[in-house]
Amino acid sequence: MPHEERVKLSEKLVNKSGIKGKTKVAYGVTGSDGIELAVRAARYYTGQPYIFTAYGDYHGVTYGTMGLTGKGNMQPYFYPILPDKAIGYFHFPYCYRCPYDKEYPGCDMYCMKSFERLLDGKESPYTDGVNNINNVAAILVSPFQSSAGYYIPPVEYLQELRRIADRFGMLLIIDEIQAGLGRSGKLWAFEHSGIDPDMIVTSKALGGGVPISAVIAKAEILEEWGPGAHVSTQAGNVLACAAGNYILDVVSSEDFLKKVNKTGAYFMERLRDLEKRHKIIGHIDNRGIYTGIELVNNRETKEPAVEASTYIRDRSVEECLLYEKGGYYHNRMQLIPPLNIGTAELDKVIAIFDKLFGEAESKFKI
């Protein structure tokens, strides 16, 4: 049943998606549900089975998405339930510890060249570059790797994926479920790369606590399959869409985004100051209020400060400061404050970090 809130939200999402040309929107209930919708639409539209994603990406843990969650530490939870097999993986540009031992920017995005090299030949099930055969429906990635540890790749990452997708006739799907909706200082995180995606998936903050997800796509993709191809009783229900209408108006307003950037810049300035005084900080990723901190035992060797990371996380809880610990090497701080956090609260956070970094540095002789 159509209803006014859904019509209003659809108009807004279509107008603000950042996707060029005519777009359409379809609804789900959770983030994973939205990702499944996008993947099914991509396979249906292209007639191809494979989906590519990056190691470290998180796209959900439902039956349809668990294979797309390239994070190794999730697999023990799935066992013995095997994921979707028609999925390929490539390395995410984790430049601080490049998987190919290169240095950005001199590397010329070697990781993407290596991915393209895989597709060039006929040795993989995905493509036969020589004979122009493509079995891949889409490349599905997060613009920034959130659940892995708040990693921000170079802007060339999505640009290269767009180029590769176009070259082989694959769709490019961007998962904006965590990095989107203003956190990076732009409405969508992919906008930092200036690309034109084929589909984006949003959820999480969109409902402000009420479950909703939405897939916004170039119109022809969602028009390919018949109405009712993806249905769910609660998808796009009145309450969720009303919440979405409110949230989207707030987070997409120019003033709000300006404030996010201002708060983020203030936080970053204070973190840079901490970095000067605390050797445990190896690297900081930041855009807007999206911030990840990598902790190391030694800045030269970059040895991950695994024990110290756990110590700081546990001590933070005692100081009533909650954040998630993550990272490929269990040594990252994922900082996800509310977008309307004030500088007074951030000052308190900095004071706690200052104290706890100091404690960890003496305890672990860093």
Ligand X SMILES: Cc1ncc(COP(=O)(O)O)c(C=O)c1O
Q: Give dist(CA 226, CA 223) in Å, integer.
A: 7
Nearest to 347 by CA among 280, 287, 263: 263
Residue nearest to ligand X (CB): 31
Q: CB 332 → ligand X: shortest distance, Å?
A: 15
Applying CB under 6 A, which part among 112-120, 172-180, 225-233, 276-284 lies near ligand X?
A: 172-180
Backbone dihedral angles phi then psi of residue 64, each to the nearest 5 degrees:
-80, -20
- Quick one: which H or E segment has residue 353? helix 343-363
Q: Do the strands 23-28 and 213-218 form a parallel or antiparallel pair, or are they unpaired?
A: antiparallel
Which residue, 142 or 184, has its beta carbon nearer to ligand X? 142
Of these, 112, 152, 165, 177, which contacts ligand X (CB under 6 A)? 177
Applying CB under 6 A, which part among 72-80, 175-183, 243-251, 323-331 lies near ligand X?
A: 175-183
**In sequence order, what are the residues at sequence separation of 6 or more whose Cβ sits closer than 8 angstroms to the Cβ of residue 99?**
91, 111
Q: Give dist(CA 150, CA 192) in Å, integer.
A: 16
Of these, 116, 175, 198, 294, which contacts ligand X (CB under 6 A)? 175
Q: CB 41 → ligand X: shortest distance, Å?
A: 16
Site for ligand X in 110-149 (CB under 6 A): 142, 146-147
- Quick one: which H or E segment has residue 223? helix 219-224
Backbone dihedral angles phi then psi of residue 117, each to the nearest 5 degrees:
-60, -40
Q: CB 159 → ligand X: shortest distance, Å?
A: 20
Of these, 9, 18, 27, 31, which contacts ligand X (CB under 6 A)? 31
Is the CB of residue 130 less than 8 Å from the CB of residue 38? no
Task: Show the site string, 46-85: x = touches ligand X by CB under 6 A, - = not.
Answer: ------------xxx-------------------------
Is the CB of residue 51 less than 8 Å from the CB of residue 34? no
Q: CB 319 → ligand X: shortest distance, Å?
A: 26
Which residue, 175 or 294, has its beta carbon nearer to ligand X? 175
Binding site for ligand X (CB under 6 A): 30-32, 35, 58-60, 142, 146-147, 175, 177-178, 203
